């Protein structure tokens, strides 16, 4: 079964706190991609990152960092020193294997609220 | 920058009406997608198209059809709208070189009364 689980439905933090959004995935494929998207109140999903299954190196982009661990099938997203503008719904997604390379399987999303 | 536009941000329709949702992308992408987004369920794929006049069913195609007459335009059609089709509809497109990396439009929030 191909599945993405975001167990945290909603997280509320105070500005400047660090916050980690969890993502656990299931797939039998050895080749796959993982993604994070941000959906601000305007509604448009904004692409944040793509990671392929052969690259377990962690990535940092400014205040954002991603921790990919194949051993635990997790692809967690950390925002350092959160800001009010980070308030959004964040989706983790899986693109499983070569045969279904068009498909994205989304988690149910985590709503992040950053309070001033 | 990739630009994906959707014809309406908000739509209100009555049960039984035929509804057209339009999506246009300006990056010459071959692949286009329609999703619906519901609370607690994330995004679910309705249909996708990998070329003009080509389409494939996604995970929840029932009650929907699509049309791709031109490369830049992908339409989602609700033949006879029902209240359970009240949802947010999101269109996406992707480069052929990286079909799994999708770029999304702003969404259409449809209310069926």
- Per DSSP, the residues of B45-92 read EEEEEEETTEEEE-S--TT-EEEEEETTEEEEEESS--GGG-EEEEEE
Contacts of B100 in chain A (CB under 8 A): 33, 35, 50, 95, 101-102, 104
pLDDT of residue A54: 87
Interface test mutation site (partner A, options B43, B87, B101, max chain A beta carbons within 10 A): B43
How many Å from the N-terminal Cα to the C-terminal Cα in chain B?
A: 37
pLDDT > 70? residue B43: yes
* Rounded Cα distance, B113 and B107, in Å: 19
pLDDT of residue A36: 96
Q: Residue B102 and residue A47: Cβ atoms within 8 Å?
A: yes
The model's confidence at residue B1, banded by pLDDT at 50, 70 and 90, is: low
Does the beta carbon of B47 lie under 8 angstroms from any beta carbon of chain A? no
Distance of CA A102 to the CA centre of its chain: 18
Please tell me which residue, B30 or A19, carries the higher pLDDT value. Answer: A19
Q: Residue B45 and residue A104: Cβ atoms within 8 Å?
A: yes
CA distances from B52 to A104, B45, B70, B113 (A): 21, 19, 6, 33
Residues B57-81, mean pLDDT to the nearest whole number: 95
pLDDT of residue A104: 87
Contacts of B106 in chain A (CB under 8 A): 42-44
* Rounded Cα distance, B79 and B49, in Å: 19
Quote the minimal CA–CA distance from B40 to chain A in Å: 5
Residues B50-74, mean pLDDT to the nearest whole number: 93
Of B48, B58, B90, the CB nearest to A45: B90
What parts of chain A have a pLDDT lower than 50?
Answer: none
Q: Return the half-sphere exposure (C-beta side, CA atoms, 13 A cut-off) of residue A88.
A: 20
Furthest CA-CA distance within chain B: 41
Contact in structure between B66 and B85 (CB atoms under 8 Å): no
* Rounded Cα distance, A38 and A53, in Å: 21
Scored b (16 or more CB within 10 A) or e, A22-58 reads bbbbebeeeebbbbbbbbeeebbbebbbbbebeeeee
Chains A and B: how many Cβ contacts under 8 Å?
60
């Amino acid at each position: 079964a191909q599945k993405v689980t975001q167990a945290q439905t909603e997280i509320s933090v105070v500005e400047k706190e660090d916050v980690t959004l969890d993502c656990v995935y299931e797939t039998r494929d050895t080749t796959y991609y993982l993604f994070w998207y941000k959906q601000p109140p305007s509604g448009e999903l904004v692409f944040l990152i793509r990671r392929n299954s052969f690259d377990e190196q962690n990535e940092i982009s400014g205040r954002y960092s991603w921790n990919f661990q194949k051993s635990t099938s997790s692809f967690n997203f950390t925002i350092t020193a959160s800001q009010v503008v980070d308030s959004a719904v964040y989706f983790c997604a899986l693109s499983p294997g070569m045969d279904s390379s068009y498909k994205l399987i989304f988690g149910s999303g985590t709503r992040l609220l950053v309070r001033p | 920058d990739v630009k994906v536009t959707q014809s309406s941000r908000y739509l209100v329709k009555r049960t039984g009406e035929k509804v057209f949702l339009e999506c246009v992308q300006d990056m010459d992408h071959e692949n286009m997608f329609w999703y619906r987004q519901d609370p607690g369920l994330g995004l679910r794929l309705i249909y996708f198209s990998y070329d003009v006049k080509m389409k494939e069913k996604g995970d929840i195609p029932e009650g929907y059809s699509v049309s791709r007459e031109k490369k830049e335009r992908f339409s989602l059609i609700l033949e006879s709208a029902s209240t359970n089709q009240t949802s947010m509809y999101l269109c996406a497109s992707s480069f052929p070189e990286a079909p799994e990396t999708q770029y999304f439009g702003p969404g259409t929030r449809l209310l069926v009364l």
